[in-house]
Structure formats: C-alpha cells, structure tokens
C-alpha cells in the first residue's frame, strides 16, 4: 500500500495488494463478462473498504467467551454512512455494506448540464444525521473528477464533515480536481492510471464501468 499527499492536500492511498491488483487486471480484461465483472467489483470494493476503514475507532466491551469474561474491541466512535454516486457507485456501496451492515446508505445522482458541461445533482437521498457520520462516497472511476467534486459538494451542503472517496481506478487529473475543490477529502483507490483519452475514458482503464456492471451499452 502506498500513501501520498502534497502539502495542504488530503491523502491518496493506493491499495496495491496482490489480490486487488489481480482482480483489477481481470476487470480490465475486455473478455470478462458481466457476471464476473460484477463479482470482481464487489470483492475489490470490500478489499478497498478493509483498508479505508483501518482508522475506525474501537473501544473495549465486556463479553463472555465460553471460557471467561474479558474486554474485547468493538467498533465505536462515529457511525458510518456509505453514499453511492449513481449508477456505477452502487456496486461498491452494496459490497461495502456487507462489512458494515449497520451503516446507513445514501444515493446521489448527477447529470451533465449540456450548456455548462458541469455535473448537476438531480437526486440526493442522504441519511438525516449525515453530519454525525463518517461518510464513504463510492464511484469506481475517478476520471475528470467532475462527478466526485459535485457529489462531495452535495454531501458537504447536507452537513457531512468527514468524507472519504472510494474509487477503483483513478487518474492524476481526477485526483487533482478533488484535491483542489476538497482538500480535506482522502481518496482510497486500487490504481492510478496514465490519464484520459479524447472521450474522457481512463487509459488503459477498464471501459465504462456502469455499462460493464449492468450489461448496457
Ligand atoms: N467513467 C467510466 O466508467 N470509465 C472511464 O474510463 C471514465 C469514466
């Protein structure tokens, strides 16, 4: 795992674990079909979450094993919220909630304004107590960063104070855009690719994540 940050910006953690790299390579492979792609995206999201949640607080609780009573660590501190950026972020949030089943789940939908080309939130349903929760916002592809920046803005306007961005693939442009707009938001990703092509796709990337997850074109 490698973590880096420029002065005044949040951290980027690349979780370059062999299992993650292997699963990511399978996801990149054009021959990988919908079923396998979906499964891999879910598994990889759980592995990323494992690392992203490393700094969750624990506190001792008194429990009885079949042998004796003792204090054992249990999750404590702020409760969690997972927020999926529609639609590709759903698969990540759905997988992560299996690790933290008590987390609340929010959704943000964005469209691109044809005049300004800027993303605009058309749908936002978030936990009411989001200001008291640690928020993990999910979007598999951090490309230009436009959607992530807008979604994080929506979260902040709703009161969110502690936000981590979870992505499967990122590019330097997207990371820079998120850092410029939201220097307090850490990013957790499986890999940083070279850049974007003329159509805004990540290179070498894995194609359109939403289409590959849902089998649409
Ligand atoms: N969104 C995707 O799904 N894929 C990319 O390569 C870029 C943005």
ipTM of the complex: 0.96
Q: Is the pLDDT of residue 124 over 80?
A: yes
Read off the pLDDT of residues 151-202 as tens digits, 9 standing for 90 and up: 999 999 999 999 999 999 999 999 999 999 999 999 999 999 999 999 999 9
In DSSP terms, 77 is beta-bridged to none
Q: Which pLDDT band holds residue 113 (cuts at 50, 70, 90)?
A: confident
Angle at 109 between CA 32 and CA 115, to 5 degrees: 105
Cα 25 from Cα 104, distance rounded (Å): 31
pTM of the model: 0.94
Read off the pLDDT of residues 49-75 as tens digits, 9 standing for 90 and up: 999 999 999 999 999 999 999 999 999
CB 164 within 8 A of CB 135: yes
- DSSP label of 197: -
How much distance in Å is there from the Cα of 186 to the middle of ligand 1? 20
Section 89-110 average pLDDT: 97
Residue-averaged pLDDT of the chain? 95
How much distance in Å is there from the Cα of 41 to the middle of ligand 1? 14
How much distance in Å is there from the Cα of 200 to the middle of ligand 1? 7
- Check residues 184 and 114 and name the one with the higher pLDDT: 184
- CA pseudo-torsion sign 188, 216, 212, 101: positive
How much distance in Å is there from the Cα of 141 to the middle of ligand 1? 5
What's the count of helices (H) and strands (E) in the chain, helices before strands? 6, 15
Site to probe by mutation for ligand 1, drawn from 194, 205, 212 as the one with most ligand atoms within 8 Å of Cβ, is 205
CB 142 within 8 A of CB 190: no
Query: 30: which 2 tokens?
Result: 């054009």
Residues with CB under 6 A from ligand 1: 88, 141, 143, 200-202, 205, 208-210
Q: Is the pLDDT of residue 3 over 90?
A: no
Q: Which pLDDT band holds residue 6 (cuts at 50, 70, 90)?
A: low
Site to probe by mutation for ligand 1, drawn from 30, 139, 141, 148 as the one with most ligand atoms within 8 Å of Cβ, is 141
Cα 123 from Cα 99, distance rounded (Å): 26
Residues with catalytic annotation?
112, 116, 208, 211
Q: Which pLDDT band holds residue 27 (cuts at 50, 70, 90)?
A: very high
Q: Is the pLDDT of residue 116 over 90?
A: no
Alpha-carbon radius of gyration of the chain: 18
151 is in an annotated binding site: no
How many CA atoms are closer than 13 Å to the CA of 10, on its beta-carbon side?
20
Query: 32: which 2 tokens?
Result: 């990988």
Closest residue to atom 5 of ligand 1, CA basis = 201
Q: What is the CATH number of domain 2-57+76-214?
A: 3.40.50.2020
């Amino acid at each position: 795992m490698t973590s880096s940050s420029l002065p005044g910006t949040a951290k980027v953690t690349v979780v370059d674990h062999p299992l993650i790299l292997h699963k990511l390579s399978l996801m990149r492979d054009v021959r990988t079909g919908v079923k396998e792609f979906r499964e891999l995206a879910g598994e990889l999201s759980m592995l990323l979450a494992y690392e992203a949640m490393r700094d969750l607080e624990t506190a001792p609780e008194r429990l009885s094993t079949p042998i004796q009573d003792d204090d054992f660590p249990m999750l404590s501190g702020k409760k969690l919220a997972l927020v999926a950026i529609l639609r590709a972020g759903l698969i990540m949030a759905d997988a992560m909630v299996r690790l933290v089943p008590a987390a609340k789940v929010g959704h943000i939908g964005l469209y691109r304004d044809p005049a300004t080309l800027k993303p605009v939130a058309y749908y936002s349903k978030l936990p009411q107590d989001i200001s008291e929760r640690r928020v993990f916002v999910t979007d598999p592809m951090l490309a230009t960063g436009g959607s992530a920046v807008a979604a994080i803005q929506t979260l902040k306007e709703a009161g969110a104070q502690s936000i981590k961005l979870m992505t499967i693939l990122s590019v330097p442009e997207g990371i820079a855009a998120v850092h410029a707009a939201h220097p307090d938001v850490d990013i957790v990703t499986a890999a940083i690719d070279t850049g974007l092509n003329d159509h805004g796709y990540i290179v070498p990337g894995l194609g359109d994540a939403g289409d590959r997850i849902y089998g649409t074109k």
